[in-house]
Amino acid sequence: MQTGRVQHATNPVDGVRIAYRTVGDGEPLVLVHGTALSHAIWRGFGYVAALRDRYRLILVDLRGHGRSDKPHDEDAYAMDLLSGDVLAVLDHLELPSAHVLGYSLGGRVALALAVGAPERLESLIVGGGSSLPQAGAFDRLFFPGCIDVLERDGMEAFLGQWNARRAWPIDAGTRAAFLANDAEALAAYMRRSGVEPGVDDDVLRRIAVPTLLFVGSEDAERIGDTRRVAALIPDASLTILPGFDHSTAVAASTEVLAAVEPFLAAV
């Protein structure tokens, strides 16, 4: 059983250092978190305990998050750099390929890997993700003007306004993860995300990596996008998680793993 301390890989394009931890033994499986979270969610939500006996889990902190470097330049968060960060981790571990599971932002990064470096993926699992341009997405996911609030008033004010608009209160783990962020770096990432072009339909149709997509039935922002991507990627599987929205689906590890584990076993 491998339980490593936090290590760092360096993206060779711009020198940004990416923190990651490895846990367990078996086929490598990269887990990539969503916006304003960190690799700690995979342990907190029960994924590590469920998977560590069968997989070598590679828990990555995306740039601007967790213990990775947090540049304040918007252009530092271009999608090709974020996907390159995951490749840098695989290179640091001397792994030619791995399964990749990403949620939300992590799902978009995983999709970018399937497009740009398919030879490095054994399988692709995208939760609550989208292939479409993301202009205005954070205003819809959180609340209108959320990036301005984050830059001007800080994370506590951001969380307060988001919590007031949610159907369920923010859980303690998510709140702690958000508070650990550098607000300026997070705002830079959000602004860059809003101008990313997305992935063309013809490109999606050419993805040959075994693919599973999952999304909450109440995820109004992403359920349509997820259905669309599942229809475009050849032979992709789709799982809808009843009763969960965008922020709660990733925490529903029992329901998520009921789809993920058979998929990985079949691959």
Residue bearing tokens 């008033």: 153
- Per-residue pLDDT averaged across 65-89, rounded? 97
Q: Helices (DSSP H) in 93-165: which residue ranges?
A: 105-116, 137-141, 146-153, 155-165
Residue 101 Rama label (left phi>0; alpha psi -120 to 50; beta): beta
- Report strand pairing: 98-103 vs 7-10: unpaired
Give the C-alpha separation, 6 to 21, whole Å.
5
- Per-residue pLDDT averaged across 229-254, rounded? 96
Structure confidence by residue, pLDDT tens digits, 50-61: 999 999 999 999
Q: In the chain, pLDDT over 70 holds for what percent of residues?
A: 99
Give the C-alpha separation, 196 to 207, whole Å.
20
Residue bearing tokens 């991507």: 229
CA neighbor of 181 nearest in space, from 150, 138, 152, 160: 150
- Per-residue pLDDT averaged across 85-97, rounded? 98
pLDDT at 181 over 60: yes
pLDDT at 179 over 70: yes
Give the number of other Cβ atoms within 10 Å of residue 75's Cβ: 12
SS3 212: strand
Task: Say which residues have a Cβ less than 8 Å from residue 91's Cβ, sequence separation at least 6.
Answer: 9
Strands (DSSP E) along 24-160, which ranges? 27-32, 55-60, 98-103, 121-127
- Per-residue pLDDT averaged across 220-235, rounded? 96
CA neighbor of 35 nearest in space, from 264, 194, 212: 194
Structure confidence by residue, pLDDT tens digits, 117-161: 999 999 999 999 999 998 998 998 899 999 999 999 999 999 999
Q: Identify the pLDDT of residue 247.
A: 86
Give the number of other Cβ atoms within 10 Å of residue 103's Cβ: 30
Q: Could you tell me the maximum CA-CA distance found in the chain, to the nearest angstrom?
A: 48
pLDDT at 2 over 60: no
Q: What is the pTM of this model?
A: 0.93
Q: Give the CA distances from residue 259 to residues 126, 227, 252, 256, 263, in Å, rounded to whole numbers and listed in that order.
A: 12, 16, 12, 6, 6
Give the C-alpha separation, 61 to 39, whole Å.
5
Structure confidence by residue, pLDDT tens digits, 31-45: 999 999 999 999 999
- Report strand pairing: 211-216 vs 17-23: unpaired
